[in-house]
Amino acid sequence: MVTEQRKTVCPYCGVGCGLLATTDGKRILKLVGDPEHPANLGRLCLKGALAAQALAAPSRLGRALLRGADGALVPISREEAVREISTRLGRILAEHGPSAVALYLSGQLTTEAQYLANKLGKGFLRTNHVDSNSRLCMASAAAG
């Protein structure tokens, strides 16, 4: 089996620890801390250290699914999923107003992605319910 190692970033919190991912091109086989990354110098907390297991979990959603009227989940394309979300969001906004919508963002978004997500939430959807997991995640870390 041919494998290669890629540099990446832990997806879980705003610390942004560097990871070295060993992959066969389809799956992540192993994740370790990147000793050259300035945020963690190779060290990881348990969440980062176990990220490869979470990525390989059989229950992990690998593609968009839509629940039908009978309750069964049917695979749909990404375009269909975006259309469905757009239609449903539009319906919620029309029926209940902007306060019925909230965006919960990742602490790992880039500054530019954070800006776009906030623009979408506050500027376009007109909700002021925009927050990120950085607050909750780091609140427990700081208390710890």
Whether residue 113 contacts residue 86, with contact meaning beta carbons closer than 8 Å, is answered with no
Q: Contact between 45 and ligand SF4 (CB under 6 A)? A: yes
Please say which residue, 17 or 125, places its beta carbon nearer to ligand SF4: 17
Q: Which of 21, 28, 31, 44 binds ligand SF4 (CB under 6 A)?
A: 44
State in angstroms the smallest separation of the CB of 33 from ligand SF4.
7
Q: Contact between 13 and ligand SF4 (CB under 6 A)? A: yes
CB within 8 Å of 77: residues ≥ 6 apart? 64
Nearest to 20 by CA among 51, 46, 66: 51
Please say which residue, 64 or 105, places its beta carbon nearer to ligand SF4: 105
d(CA 128, CA 95): 17
d(CA 107, CA 130): 12
Residue 36 identity (one-letter amino acid): E
Please say which residue, 71 or 144, places its beta carbon nearer to ligand SF4: 144
Q: Which of 29, 47, 92, 134 binds ligand SF4 (CB under 6 A)?
A: 47
Write out the two tokens for 111.
Answer: 């500054």
Q: Contact between 37 and ligand SF4 (CB under 6 A)? A: no
Binding site for ligand SF4 (CB under 6 A): 10, 12-13, 15-17, 40, 44-45, 47-48
